[in-house]
Amino acid sequence: MLVPKYIYLTKGKGIHREKLASFELALRDAGVSAQNLVYVSSIFPPHCKLISRQKGEAMLKPGQILFCVMARNQTNEPHRLLSSSIGLALPADGSHYGYLSEHKGFGENARQTGDYAEDLAAEMLANSLGIDFDIDQSWDEKKQVFRLSGKIVRTSACTQTAVGPKEGKWVTTVAAAVMIMSWMETENNG
């Protein structure tokens, strides 16, 4: 059974005349270009620990298969604002699963994209925990309901933005929740 023991959030951007090369550069900036990425859906496992990017990257090896939730966006349109974000919502009870969400946008700044991704993750977690809220409430009003419930302990987002270069090169943004399996920790430390 593959269940992540640790998760860390990362982000990056890359600019190149070739679309694929800009994606590679974004992965390098995010610190995951030397791994084989497998995209998964958005559950933060029970008893999983959120760690720093630095600690997570120290556990990686080139060529390994690495599971992640990833948001990716690209453009070659000059002056176009783009963004990618991962939202996170963790329950107060660590034996319950949390949620990760991915969102990409155009014309949204980091705050707008991050708030939207965070809101998505929090709403999914709230629904799974049976927390009642009005979907049309503002994010601040929903956040207050979540906090008052005592069932959601943390929400956040990891967001990368960029602007399309004026010379028409490709720019790629990525944001990811990278999953570290317990066997990876053992193998890397022993």
pLDDT digits (tens, 9 = 90+) for 86-138: 999 999 899 999 999 999 999 999 999 999 999 899 889 988 888 876 667 76
Residue 61 pLDDT grade (very low, low, confident, very high; cuts 50, 70, 90): very high
- How many of the other CB atoms lie within 10 Å of CB of 38? 11
Q: Is domain 4-189 given the CATH code 2.60.120.330 in the classification?
A: no
* 124 φ/ψ angles, rounded to the nearest 5 degrees: -65, -45
Is pTM beyond 0.85? Reply is yes
Q: Which pLDDT belongs to residue 183?
A: 57
Q: Which pLDDT belongs to residue 186?
A: 47
Listed in sequence order, the DSSP H helices in 32-181 are: 53-57, 110-129, 139-149
The H or E element containing residue 88 is strand 81-91
C-alpha distance from residue 5 to each of 30, 33, 79, 146, 158 (Å): 20, 21, 40, 26, 20
Q: How many CA atoms lie within 13 A of 177 on its CB side?
A: 30
